[in-house]
Chain A
Amino acid sequence: MVENATCNCACSEELTEEEMILQLDELIGEYQNKPGGLIPALQIVQSRFGYLPESVLKKISRDFGKPYSEVAGVVSFYSFFSTVPRGKNMVRVCLGTACYVRGGKEVLASVKKELGIDVGETTENRQFSLDVGRCFGACGLAPVIMVNDDVHQRVKPSKIGELLRAYAISEEGVTQ
């Protein structure tokens, strides 16, 4: 398992959902009656709070006069949006055809084991979130994973732990 020091970053300033809701008007009020205003509004809220909790989405649905199913449809269409708090590091394992046949599945299994989470989940200490992708355009060097904006090629399941630990550490700003 990847060991992380307790996180001492933004978490302490994390807003409760009630606090988020109180900020909504100021943040996106001007988009309420604009045609096509829903997506930009959601983007602003996602960027500001890091995720879109249910209570916030319901409030947006009510304020914008848009059915909750439509708001949810938009949120679940774009991978940019998340309804759960995301970890500081986004790990994406490619399961495109090339990666899949060259061991992508084993890599995914190893990541899951190292982080102790399933696809779409976030570690309890909010360090890592896990997702899968279909082709990052590096098929020649499959299997590929992405951590944040870094592409890691020809990864081996046995080396995953080490690779991920580097991120946990660099985030802490500690060198060992």
Chain B
Amino acid sequence: MRKLIINGKPIEAPDGATILDAAKHAGIRIPTLCFLENREPIGACRVCLVEVTGARTLLSACSTPVSEGMEVKTNSPRVRAARKQVVELLLSEHDGNCPVCDRNQDCELQNLASELGIREIAYEGEKAKARIDDSTPALVRDNSKCIKCRRCVTVCSEMQGVGALYPQGRGFDTMIGPAFTLDLDGVACVQCGQCAAICPVGAISEKSHIESVWKALEDPTKTVVVQTAPAIRAALGECFDCEPGTLVTGKMTTALRELGFDAVFDTDFAADLTIMEEGTELLTRLKKALVDGEEVPLPMFTSCSPGWINFAEYYYPQFLPNLSTCKSPQQMFGAVAKTYYAQKIGVKPDDLIVVSVMPCTAKKFECGREEMNDSGARDVDYVLTTREIGRMIKEAGIDFMSLEDSKMDAPMGLSSGAADIFANTGGVMEAALRTAYEIVTGRSLPMENLHVKPVAGLEGIKEASIKIEGAVSDWSFLEGVTVNVAVAHGLGNARRLLERIKNGEKSYHFVEIMTCPGGCIGGGGQPRFTDDSVRLKRINAIYAEDEGKTVRKSHENEAVQQLYKEFLGAPLGEKSHHLLHTHYHEKDVV
């Protein structure tokens, strides 16, 4: 421990802590821009300058370690003036117009300017030329707003192991982006949107579908239904200044009705359906391997996360046969809505518009994949991020916080708690185990409150082993078998796990991979700013939602049972195969 003094206050901080750590711990705020938790400080922005007695210059708090007896001032006139200068310089080179910017009222640069009391910009800086990159289905980049903090570079290469963004060129002309002056579609970006979630300003954002959705809602010839992913209910409140982790399922449902959607449904319904298909697929693969002695690709990987699918197609094509052939819940929902539900209400698939609300930008990419038209029309028409639906609710003048709760519509709004936890890392695995274990043994998963604790939480790679005991006769070949599973979230962790599997260090039966850290609750389309404490709060809210449900297992969802009875037949049956399953292709990295 080191003793130091910050703003006259004696403080203790562990060895190796930075001034920023120490201050944060003592409840003293130092503004930052380029700093990211759990990462090496880059020291690019100089916003975190502080005065250290005895030091000639001001030092950046994020990268200066504390030392014994250090005296720090975080708020002296000299510090304030320097910080102001730093931010004024950033603003002078920044080509933005706040009132019409996507990030207005949600911008770290704007907040800093206001916090530091900047009223005029004393410099006339050379501004970067605006170059809009809207080459991909999910994201829009605007270099002229980039302040070169490099947060996106760190996130894309270290957290996601992709490395699509990197500083190009040098000096003032440096641009943060894909190779040379290529657009994002020129490199192997997986569309996860983690860069958009971490960008402090309006330089990377999702490609908006808001206008198209308003148009659809106003079109009297269309029936417009909406599905909301499980992760939305634990995050949307943040768009309306709620604490992270506030569940707003009921208000969200009411708000969607007020926006004019003809039916408010739940991606949860399709998550339950996914478990039926994917669970059956897993058990079938295991049977083939253990009984028929066939060569089947194991471990089986989950396939709900489109960024992960892209990642596998680019970087691990050898594992494509291991991916579950199940479409993601979003796409299953679309395919079922435009067939089963459309028939039920007597609407032509072409006249039914399916809108998704997703925590994810890659879902915008996914809904445009050419394989996703099995209903005869495009299965999902538009995808809104959590941030976009928040904006639409505001645009409509709805006072979200004073809305009454309401319930989602039948049949595709009914779901189990197992579906809710699809939002969390480890959740798909837990949901699958709840059902698969019960199919095989006829008994509930023997774990407290049905939770598979070892695969929950923010650890990057998690493992669990479950021994099958008392298998029913159909599945007796699994008697005594220990099923090994693993879970990774964040593609950097996925890469580490895949390497271990590739070189034979580890072997599993079933592996869950989610693109974003924390799972969908930490998706690239969620309210900013997401750090680990926010992730944990959303994760806990999702578990609470699950525990509050009367039905906690996917196979007990009566609406899904009815769907099989009336329409699909059996899991992995012919109709399922056609509507709910897909295939993948290798893509070139460069």
Asked whether A and B interact, the reply is yes
Q: Is A70 touching B157 in the complex (CB atoms < 8 A)?
A: yes
Stretch at the interface among A42-50, A72-80, A104-112, A160-168: A72-80
**Contacting residues, chain A, for B534 (C-beta < 8 A):** none
**Given that A58-B590, A62-B589, A83-B180 are known contacts, is A69 also in contact with B169, CB under 8 Å in the complex?**
no
Are B168 and A67 in contact, CB atoms less than 8 angstroms apart? no
Docked Cα-Cα span, A104 to B178, in Å, equals: 33
How many chain A residues sit at the interface, stated as a range, is 10 to 19
A67 to B182, CA, bound (A): 13
Interface-located stretch among B158-166, B274-282, B329-337, B353-361: B158-166
Determine if A67 and B164 form an interchain contact, defined as CB atoms under 8 angstroms apart: yes
Q: Is the interface of B mostly helix, strand, loop or mixed?
A: loop
A72 to B157, CA, bound (A): 14
A residues within 8 A CB of B283? none
Q: CA separation between A61 and B188, bound complex, in Å?
A: 12
Task: Check B165 against A69 for contact (C-beta < 8 Å).
Answer: yes
B215 at the interface (CB under 8 A from A): no
A residues 28-72 touching B (CB-CB < 8 Å):
58, 61-62, 66-72
Assess whether B179 is interfacial by the CB under 8 Å rule.
Answer: yes
Inter-subunit contact A67/B169 (CB<8 Å)? no
Question: Interface size class for chain B?
Answer: 10 to 19
Q: Determine how close the nearest CB of chain A comes to the CB of B473; give it in whole angstroms.
A: 49
Chain B residues near A66 (CB-CB < 8 A): 163
| B156-209 interface with A by 8 A CB criterion | 157, 162-170, 177-180, 182, 187-188
A-B contacts counted at CB < 8 A amount to: 50
Q: How far is the CB of A89 from chain B (nearest CB, A)?
A: 23
- In the complex, are the beta carbons of A67 and B157 less than 8 A apart? yes
Cα A70 to Cα B182 in complex, Å, equals: 13
Q: Which of B166, B167, B170, B180 contacts A67 (CB 8 A)?
A: B166
Residues of A within 8 A of B182 (CB): 72
Which of B170, B178, B590 is A77 in contact with, Cβ under 8 Å? B170
Give the nearest-CB partner of A75 in chain B: B180
Taking a contact as CB atoms closer than 8 A, the residue among A58, A62, A73, A78 that contacts B166 in the complex is A73
User: Which residue of the partner chain A has the closest CB to B169?
Assistant: A76
Please provide the chain B residues from 467 to 507 with a CB less than 8 Å away from any CB of chain A in the complex: none
How many angstroms from the CA of A78 to the CA of B171 in the assembled complex? 11
- Kindly list chain A residues whose C-beta atoms are within 8 Å of the C-beta of B180: 72, 76, 83
Asked if A69 and B166 sit within 8 Å, CB to CB, the answer is: yes
Q: Which of A66, A69, A70 has the most CB of B within 10 A?
A: A69
Which chain B positions have C-beta within 8 A of A61?
589-590
Query: CB-CB < 8 A to A71: which residues of B?
Result: 179
Instruction: Report how far A73 CA is from B178 CA in the complex, Å.
Output: 9
Most chain A CB inside 10 Å of its own CB: which residue of B166, B167, B168: B166
> In whole angstroms, what is the CA distance A73 to B170 when docked?
9
- Per the bound structure, the CA–CA distance linking A68 and B188 in Å amounts to 9
Bound form: Cα–Cα A48–B123 in Å: 46
Residue of B nearest to A83 (CB): B180
Contacts of B164 in A (CB 8 A): 67, 69
Q: Within the assembled complex, what's the spacing in Å between the Cα atoms of A67 and B186?
A: 12
In angstroms, Cα B178 to Cα A29, docked, is 26
> How many whole Å from B118's CB to the nearest CB in chain A?
28
A170 and B179 alpha carbons, distance in the complex (Å): 38
B178, A69: Cβ atoms under 8 Å?
A: yes
Please tell me which one of the listed residues B165, B170, B188 contacts residue A76 in the complex, with CB atoms under 8 A apart.
B170
Q: Is the beta-carbon distance between B168 and A73 smaller than 8 angstroms? A: yes
Residue of B nearest to A79 (CB): B170
Closest Cβ of chain B: how far from A68's Cβ, in Å? 4
- Beyond A58-B590, A76-B180, whether A70 also contacts B168 by CB under 8 A is no
- By the criterion CB–CB under 8 Å, are A69 and B170 in contact? no
Identify the B interface with A (CB < 8 A). 157, 162-170, 177-180, 182, 187-188, 589-590
A-B contact pairs, 8 of them (CB 8 A): A61-B590, A62-B589, A66-B163, A69-B187, A71-B179, A72-B180, A73-B168, A76-B169
Sort A-B residue pairs by CB-CB distance and give the 8 closest, nearest first.
A67-B163, A72-B179, A73-B166, A58-B590, A69-B166, A69-B179, A68-B590, A76-B169
A73-B168, A76-B180, A83-B180 known; 10 new pairs, CB 8 Å cut-off, are: A61-B590, A67-B162, A69-B179, A70-B163, A71-B179, A72-B168, A72-B182, A73-B166, A73-B167, A76-B170
